[in-house]
Amino acid sequence: MLKYRVIGGVVCALAFAGDSDRVARAQAQPAAGAHTEQRALLDQYCVTCHSERLEVGGLSLQDLDLNNVADHAEVWEKVVRKLRAGSMPPQPRPRPDAETYDGFRTWLEAELDAAAERAPNAGRTEALHRISRTEYHNVIRDLLGLEVDVSELLPADDTSYGFDNIAGVLGVSPTLMERYLSAARKISRLAVGSPVPSAIEETFRIASDLGQDAHIAGLPFGTRGGTLIDFNFPEDAEYVISVVPDGPLFIESHELEVTLDGERVELFTVGRTLEPGERRGLYAEADPREVRLRVNAGPHQIGVAFLRKTAAEPERTRKLYLRPFTGEGSGGDSRYQPYVDRVSITGPFESSGTRPAHDTPSRARLFVCHASAADGPEA
């Protein structure tokens, strides 16, 4: 199981508050000329190398004010680290005795602590800056090679000033953390290729305002309408692909093609010739067309489309008008050809219950070592 576990008066008051703060800081600062002993020690052992002229290591201590170390706290923090390590001054440069050396370091640490206490810098106020939902999708794609629809796993992010990646709105609540943990469990099982406890069904509905009278990019040439689905099959098994066509009865039938990675796996006939007494505009029954096939684990493309009939049209007075579909109203459905309403993928069935026979892109990134013997332990 280890491999699966694997965010008016107010203005006046503020003005007085600012004055009082300046007075307090002025009182807290030592008088000019103080810390002469520390300055002399610094000039004798440090400034000989770390001067404006030499600036060894890109550091100059010549003009830094010891009366207010807070002005260059980052520089003095580096000095403290060097003094704690005993690496400065380097050998064979002269250095003070141990008592003086430790005394200067202790004094400098105390000055830095006092400055931080007078003007604390909490840094970022957000305890945890999580990534947005879009960034989460991109991370999963780049790290694991998986295209996951995270909109089904995580709620939409709040926005601020038109952006959804600002730390102030990307907080983490206990409920949201549960959603992230649930998403991580599902994605990790999908990446590893662990057996699915039972068959599941995923349905892909096609937008009703999407025209299906022309070719859809990615589908085979010579087809019209339909949809192209990128689907990650969890394991080597059999799956049922169900297609629900819809549309008005017409004077001729249409052929519906189902493809797997561009290869045809089934061809259905949709629609029929009108019977005597029937009129155009009646709807065909939305009976699903199903095909069951065995698919290897990993990402595949499922294509569903109608074979396009010849574009040659007879000469006529009235030309065929491909008007767009704007929804069903009092005038009925304006579409004159069958279309694909939805596609469902159900499975797995007849699964071996073992890891995929061929490494998926995600498994190839996760498991870089394999047992040398056939009976060796799995990765």
- For residues 349 and 27, the model is more confident at 349
Distance from C-alpha of 161 to C-alpha of 236, rounded to nearest angstrom: 47
Question: Tell me: the pLDDT tens digits for 214-247?
Answer: 899 999 999 999 999 999 998 889 999 999 988 7
- For residues 1 and 326, the model is more confident at 326
- For residues 82 and 275, the model is more confident at 82
Q: 270 and 306 in contact (C-beta within 8 Å)?
A: yes
Q: 295 and 346 in contact (C-beta within 8 Å)?
A: no
Distance from C-alpha of 252 to C-alpha of 246, rounded to nearest angstrom: 14
Question: Tell me: the pLDDT tens digits for 329-353?
Answer: 555 556 677 889 999 999 899 887 6
Distance from C-alpha of 81 to C-alpha of 73, rounded to nearest angstrom: 12
| 259 DSSP β-pair partners | 264, 303
- Check residue 373 and give its pLDDT: 62
Max alpha carbon distance in the chain (Å)?
114
- Check residue 219 and give its pLDDT: 93
Above 70 in pLDDT, residue 324? Answer: no
Q: Which domains does the chain have, with CATH numbers?
A: 31-118 (no CATH), 200-310+319-352 (2.60.120.260)
Nearby residues of 257 by Cβ (< 8 Å), 6 or more positions away: 220, 223, 264, 266, 267, 268, 303, 304, 305, 306, 307
